């Protein structure tokens, strides 16, 4: 007897438990992919599997539904593998240790992978049950979603007849997603000329910031440590002669940096006076920035430490001037808000990484927009500004947006049936982060798509939980949608 066998709907939990029994972290999807292929073969369903282990299963329409528009059901096979420090589970070999607590299913010591195992479970349970009425169903299970959506990018869609997608990779019941941002990463490299100098080294740090996700939290008004470091450097340079040895902050371009630092060099002569002056400037800037960011970032701190006398290679005056111009004039944060969806950030960028290499100062931005043309325009703006300062720009990891459709037949049906079933209006939203729907929309012309899912909390963490009652409500909702 399985841990979940008493739960309803039986079919969904049976397949969810089966998937949880097969290790399926990102990059390790072959076994779960093979499981889906065997499932299809045993039932005489058409199935495709590719070399990235994506799986497509097709079930023809029920009697009387042959003339309906085919429907694509989509989710991803991979999960994020996180475990508690004392957990001995081996994600490469072991199944998850499922448990039930009240209305929640969770996995002991690890992530549950409800994101997005529940999508696969729903689809298999639907495909398995010949009593369910439905149009031609095309179940699309992708791989590597959590680490760059490589599966969706590699997916061959030539066997798909549908132009309508129900993506099952959202985690709040009652919210229908109708759009997501596309994005890319922009790396700007400013060549660095250096000159040898002797002097007193100072370490300048900006820290105590909250940081956060560069998509979901870009509109929270939080400080970006790399940008604030540039503000301090600008103020220091107005009053004192200080050379820059290095500047660095942040680890990932898609995280708002919490901390950034610079090593400075000042002359040995009158060092005490200069340090005093520099400390006063730092204190004044800190006071000003605390007023500006106080609500969002109350622990912001700017600190200057003396590090002793040394020989060092500092940026040439010209390089430093280009560096500061880049850091202060390139845009950062929210660029514009959506006019269709209240509260949605439409376009933004985040200076996530600043680092100093021997030959170059590197700035890495994560750029996002739910409007493809705006993303292009922003990239072009970065390129022009960078080139004016003698820097070069490289773009990578480009992924397309899923643009909001004012007129979407599937969304209309989803809203209508939700109201009929639950007596209330679902919320229609879009997110300022990536979903595979954007990649599908770039491959399937005229794609009409909605993303939904049952209530989950703590996804990508060991606190992940999946609501049993919500899974059942979403199941009923899905069956009604198939009948539409």
User: What angle do helix axes 30-42 and 114-128 make, rounded to 10 degrees?
Assistant: 10
> Which of 386, 401 has the CB closer to Zn ion?
401
Q: Are the C-beta atoms of residues 264 and 243 closer than 8 Å to each other?
A: yes
- Near Zn ion by CB under 5 A: residue from 29, 78, 138, 169: 169
Among residues 152 and 362, whose Cβ is nearest to Zn ion?
152
Q: CB under 5 A: which stretch of 84-92, 100-108, 163-171, 191-199 binds Zn ion?
A: 163-171
Residues within window 213-252 making contact with Zn ion, judged by CB under 5 A: none
Stretch that binds Zn ion, among 18-26, 165-173, 195-203, 211-219 (CB under 5 A): 165-173
Does the footprint of Zn ion cover residue 171 (CB under 5 A)? Answer: no
Q: Which is nearer to Zn ion, 312 or 459 (CB)?
A: 459
> 343: left (phi > 0), else alpha (psi -120 to 50), else beta?
left
Query: What is the closest distance, in whole angstroms, from the C-beta atom of residue 36 to Zn ion in the complex?
Result: 17
Nearer to Zn ion, 145 or 259 (CB): 145
Footprint (CB under 5 A) of Zn ion, residues 30-69: none
Residue in 17, 115, 138, 145 annotated catalytic: 145
Binding window for Zn ion (CB under 5 A); candidates: 114-122, 240-248, 271-279, 393-401: 114-122
Residue 57's SS3 state is: strand
Do 77 and 87 contact (CB within 8 A), yes or no?
Answer: no
Q: Which is nearer to Zn ion, 15 or 293 (CB)?
A: 15
**Residue span binding Zn ion (CB under 5 A) among the ranges 5-13, 162-170, 239-247, 295-303:** 162-170
With CB under 5 A as the rule, give the number of residues binding Zn ion.
3
In the window 388-427, what residues touch Zn ion (CB under 5 A)? none
Q: Is the dihedral of CA 43, 133, 120, 2 positive or negative?
A: negative
Helices (H), 88-215: 114-128, 150-154
Which helix or strand (DSSP H or E) is residue 106 part of? strand 104-107
- The interface region with Zn ion, picked from 107-115, 179-187, 272-280, 302-310 by CB under 5 A, is 107-115
CB of 115 to Zn ion, least distance (A): 4
Is 78 labeled as catalytic in the residue annotation? yes
Burial class (CB in 10 A: 0-12, 13-18, 19+), 445: exposed
| Length of the chain (residues) | 484
Which strand (E) or helix (H) includes residue 212?
strand 212-213
Min dist CB 431 to Zn ion, Å, is: 12
Q: How far is the CB of 76 from Zn ion (least distance, A)?
A: 6
Residues 178-197 that bind Zn ion (CB under 5 A): none
Q: How far is the CB of 145 from Zn ion (least distance, A)?
A: 6
Nearest approach in angstroms of CB 449 to Zn ion is: 15
φ/ψ of 126, rounded to 5, equals -70, -45
Residue 183's contacts (CB-CB under 8 Å, 6 or more residues apart) are: 215, 366, 367, 368, 369, 375, 397, 398, 399, 401, 434
User: Residue from 29, 78, 115, 403 that binds Zn ion (CB under 5 A)?
Assistant: 115
Residues 82, 460 contacting (CB under 8 angstroms): yes
Q: What separation in angstroms does the CA of 276 have from each of 39, 228, 279?
A: 73, 21, 5
Taking the least distance from each CB to Zn ion, the nearer of 222 and 432 is 432
Quote the least distance from Cβ 119 to Zn ion, whole Å. 8
Among 78, 116, 138, 455, binds Zn ion (CB under 5 A): 116
Q: How far apart are the first and last CA of the chain?
A: 36
- The closest of 190, 195, 278, 267 to 233, measured between CA atoms, is 278
Q: Which residues are part of the catalytic machinery? A: 78, 145
Binding site for Zn ion (CB under 5 A): 115-116, 169
């Amino acid at each position: 007897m399985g841990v979940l066998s008493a739960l309803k709907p039986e079919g969904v939990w049976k397949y969810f438990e089966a998937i949880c029994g097969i290790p399926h972290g990102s990059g390790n999807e072959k076994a779960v992919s093979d499981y889906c292929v065997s499932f299809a073969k045993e039932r005489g369903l058409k199935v495709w599997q590719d070399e990235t282990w994506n799986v497509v299963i097709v079930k023809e329409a029920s009697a009387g539904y042959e003339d309906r528009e085919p429907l694509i059901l989509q989710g991803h096979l991979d999960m994020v593998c996180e475990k508690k420090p004392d957990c001995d589970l081996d994600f490469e070999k072991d199944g998850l240790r499922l448990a039930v607590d009240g209305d929640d299913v969770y996995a002991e010591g690890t992530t549950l992978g409800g994101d997005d195992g529940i999508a696969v479970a729903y689809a298999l349970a639907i495909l398995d049950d010949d009593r369910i009425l439905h149009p031609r169903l095309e179940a699309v299970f992708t791989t590597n979603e959590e680490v760059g959506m490589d599966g969706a990018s590699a997916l061959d869609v030539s066997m798909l007849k549908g132009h309508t997608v129900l993506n099952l990779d959202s985690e709040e019941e009652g919210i229908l997603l109708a759009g997501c941002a596309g994005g890319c990463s922009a790396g700007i490299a400013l060549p660095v000329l250096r000159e040898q100098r002797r002097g007193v080294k100072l370490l300048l740090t900006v820290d105590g910031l909250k940081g956060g996700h560069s998509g979901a939290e870009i509109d929270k008004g939080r400080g970006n440590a790399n940008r604030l470091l540039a503000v301090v450097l600008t103020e220091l340079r107005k009053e004192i002669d200080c050379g820059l040895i290095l500047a660095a902050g942040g680890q990932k371009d898609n995280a708002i940096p919490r901390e950034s630092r610079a090593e400075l060099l000042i002359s040995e002569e009158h060092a005490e006076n200069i340090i005093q002056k520099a400390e006063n400037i730092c204190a004044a800037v800190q006071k000003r920035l605390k007023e500006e960011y106080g609500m969002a970032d109350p622990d912001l701190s700017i600190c200057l430490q003396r590090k002793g006398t040394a020989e060092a290679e500092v940026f040439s005056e010209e390089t430093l001037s280009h560096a500061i111009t880049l850091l202060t004039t390139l845009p950062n944060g929210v660029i514009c808000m959506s006019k269709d969806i209240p509260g949605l950030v439409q376009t933004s960028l985040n200076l996530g990484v600043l680092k100093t290499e021997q030959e170059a100062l590197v700035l890495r931005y994560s750029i996002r927009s739910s409007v493809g043309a705006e993303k292009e325009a922003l990239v072009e703006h970065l390129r022009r500004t960078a080139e004016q300062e003698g820097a070069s720009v490289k773009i990578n990891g480009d992924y397309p947006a899923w643009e909001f459709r004012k007129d979407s037949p599937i969304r209309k049906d989803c809203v209508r049936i939700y109201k009929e079933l639950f007596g209330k209006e679902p919320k229609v939203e879009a997110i300022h982060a990536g979903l595979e729907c954007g990649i599908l929309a770039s491959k399937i012309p005229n794609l009409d798509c909605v993303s939904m899912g049952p209530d989950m909390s703590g996804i990508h963490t060991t606190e992940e939980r999946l609501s049993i009652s919500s899974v059942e409500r979403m199941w009923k909702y899905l069956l009604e949608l198939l009948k539409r």
